[in-house]
Amino acid sequence: MIKPYGKTLVILRDKVETESLGGIILPEEYTERKLNQGKVVEIGTDPEITIEIGSMIVFNDFAGTEVEWDGVEYLIIPEEETLCILPEED
């Protein structure tokens, strides 16, 4: 796993659905976009980081750097690019 440095987070971005709830296949223009939310899978070395591993967050549209590791695409962002933490689903 990637180990970020300082006040940075490694995010696994949510995937865009290719089909609507009603079964309609969505156009390619819609499915090619990237969502600005995802799950924190690793946190940096700074002890003052306030976001925990496993948190679902929303971040700025153009935040971070995309990195591919072991065939998986991650996004590395500074903690201050986080807009909110989403509540846990039951």
| pLDDT, tens digit (0-9, with 9 covering 90-100), for 14-62 | 876 667 678 777 666 655 567 899 999 999 999 999 999 999 999 998 8
Instruction: Establish if 1 belongs to a structural domain.
Output: no
Phi-psi region for residue 44, left (φ > 0), alpha (ψ -120 to 50) or beta? beta
Rounded to whole angstroms, the Cα distance separating 47 from 55 reads: 17
- Bridge partner residues of 13 (DSSP): 38
CATH number reported for the structural domain that contains residue 18 in this entry? 2.30.33.40
Burial of 39 (0-12, 13-18, 19+ CB in 10 A): middle
In the chain, the number of structural domains is 1
pTM value?
Answer: 0.83
pLDDT recorded at residue 29: 65
- The closest alpha carbon to 12, from 61, 55, 62, belongs to 55
Range of the domain at 36: 8-85
